[in-house]
A and B are shown apart, each in its own frame.
Chain A
Amino acid sequence: MAESKPKPKLKKEAVPIPKQDPKVRAKNFNEVALGYTEEQALEEASRCLQCVKPQCVTGCPVEVPIPEFIRLIRERKYAEAIAKIKTKNSLPAVCGRVCPQEEQCQAKCVVGKIGEPVSIGRLERFVADWEREHGFAIPEQAPPTGKKVAIVGAGPAGLTAAADLAKLGHKVVMFEALHVAGGVLVYGIPEFRLPKVIVQNEVDYIQKLGVELRLGYLVGRTNTIPELLKNGFDAVFIGSGAGLPQFLGIPGENLGGIYSANEFLIRVNLMKAYAFPDYDTPIRVGKHVVVIGGGNVAMDCARSALRLGAQVCLLYRRSREELPARKEEIENAEEEGIICKFLAAPTCFIGDEKGWVKAMECVQMELGPPDESGRRRPQPIKGSEFTMETDTVIIAIGRTPNPIIQRTTEGLAVSKWGTIITDENGKTSLEGVYAGGDIVTGEATVISAMGAGKRAAKAIHEYLMSKT
């Protein structure tokens, strides 16, 4: 059944991914996208041109050998296909689901110039899911080097660095502050976009590589980085992420019913508040929820609130064109019944006699000249104030780096934004200490954090091997 040449006639449309019906999924937390069947995967894989100089790979932060794995899918060699991906990417089931492929690999796909690009992410997901059903293969590992590395934070950057360093033969201990590994993949991204079992499987795989996982261990408090280095670790990788929620800084923000995106998502996702009181963590979601922000986190909050039975309005201060969320997620959200209100921002919150939010005052915005981010800066329109009734507000306007490590690690160079300063390979101002992911860049994507974890792992390996 092996094909050596692409089909002469190219289909312009990608094979659509089956999804739960919007009306049904708006009422459950099950995964929205159901994944390709084998036939669909084979059909989609046949659309790949197998370019000699593949552009898609240049769009991938971890340089997954895309044409090669797609060729292996065509040949129905799924085990080989996933092994090929895993030479570069230790979390394919995650990336296949949450990477913004449309801005990365698929944006560069040559097929995209004449029609829809090859659905690389969906194919990656297909083989990753195939492996989960058929059992993991543990790749060959280098002989033990006798070197010990501490990984701080079991999120995308840390998991990637841990996997790469373990494969290179180092003893790796991963410290995670929460009671589960996965970082933003478990506390942030909801079940309907990335099921916890998928993340757990990726974590299991990394543990099978020999990585030791220590949960409930907050580096900076339980032990500091200098203490880890003193206590037998030869190097440390910091991947502690951008966890601290940002607030608007407007009056009334501390009223009841106003949540940070993190609070809302941690309660609903990680602590399963949607099943209160069967689970102990409560969440109170009213009838009229307003989510402030326009990124993927804002979409996740809005869609979670909707599933808890609320009417949800998303308020974004720029226009639809500037929405930073993935296009697919915006479409999913609107299909499910989320109302988006553009070019408006809150100016203050009004509470009832019990201290619970009951309304918010807003102002209409217009777009002025571009700001430093290149996007047009929103400006309030004078006299356009209006009031919106609401009983629940979720503030999803970004997260800043967690300050604990910076405050407890003497000599670690930190920027004015609180991010850790590193070179392009993740090397910090302290010897043997590397960092990567959101703690270095500020809030970004899962895959860029993974890319940083990968580069740092390589640099740590070189550093350890140069030290005898």
Chain B
Amino acid sequence: MPLTICGYDAAKGTVSFAFHEVGKTTKELGSMSPGDFIENVTGPLGNPSEIKRYGKVLCVGGSVMIAPALLQVKAMREAGNHVTTVIGARSKEFLMMEDEARELSNELYIATDDGSKGYKGLDFLHGLLKKEHFDRCVALGPVVMMKTVSEMTKPFGIPTTVTLTPIMIDGMGMCGVCRVTVGGKMLFGCVDGPEFDGHQVDFDQLIQRQRMLLPEERLSSLLWEMGGCQCGRKQA
């Protein structure tokens, strides 16, 4: 299961992750207590983020990916950029790290799908893009959100980086499950990514591939919920 690193403490030797409990493995992770351990964690995998002094940067973080998005906001600020941050979620209950986002960013906008907090949907972005000039956009979040953001920035010619976490098994180039079409070429999310040019990614194909094993994922998740103690079961 690929998880995006959203924080680290080199002195303590720790990394942190944020995840939603959506499937069996994330539910199992969520059921763990401090001091528990996971048999195997490998990483960091993939290429490091491209952090440079671009000028004005728009950073859009959605859902649980707000956490790693803020890591980028921090790095972009440290590199001398002016950063406008947008954080969004399904509804206000799912919105996370608002205070941190406000503290880290030069400007902050909030959006929810149902309008329960901030703007309703991402349509407001269009006005923002018309009003202000941005040199760079980074988007981290659900595939549909990254697709929308990429489509909005394209007419303005703002180079847009998206972070893709397609289904992968090993995360180091072996399985080829994470293949994505970028600019008509087949690339691997793990060794060529995770960051890609949002204007070149075939998002519809990616969405379709993300749903490939949905029935199996649902079955696994249901069994986990019904089963209680799952001692002796192997990690995915």
Contacts and interface: CB of A to CB of B under 8 A. Distances in A.
Interface of A: 177-179, 187, 215-218, 221-222, 243-245, 247, 249, 253-254, 256, 259-260, 262-263, 266-267, 271-272, 276-282, 284, 355-356, 402-404
Contacts of B91: none
Contact of A262 (B174, B191, B235): B174
Contacts of B208: 256, 355
B3 to A, nearest CB: 14
Contact of B234 (A178, A222, A280, A404): A280
18 contacts: A177-B170, A179-B40, A179-B42, A217-B42, A243-B173, A243-B174, A247-B176, A247-B179, A254-B181, A256-B208, A256-B212, A263-B177, A277-B220, A280-B25, A281-B236, A282-B216, A282-B217, A356-B212
Given A266-B170, A266-B174, A216 B42 contact: yes
Interface string B26-69: 00000000000001111111100000000000000000000000
A260 B176 contact: yes
A254 B173 CA distance: 16
Contact of B172 (A218, A260, A277, A281): A218
Interface in B191-236: 191, 205, 208-209, 211-213, 216-217, 219-220, 223, 233-236
Interface residues of B, number: 38
Q: Which 4 A-B pairs have the closest CB atoms?
A: A280-B236, A282-B216, A260-B176, A179-B40
Interface of B: 24-25, 39-46, 169-170, 172-177, 179, 181, 186, 188, 191, 205, 208-209, 211-213, 216-217, 219-220, 223, 233-236
A254 B205 contact: yes
A254 B209 contact: yes
A254 B179 contact: yes
Main secondary structure of the interface of B (DSSP, over half): loop
Given A249-B186, A254-B209, A276 B216 contact: yes
A253 B186 contact: yes
B234 A279 contact: yes
Nearest to B220: A277
Most chain A CB within a 10 A radius of its CB, from B42, B205, B234 = B42
B185 to A, nearest CB: 10
Contacts of A177: 42, 170, 172
A221 B46 CA distance: 8
Contacts of B181: 254
A284 B213 contact: yes
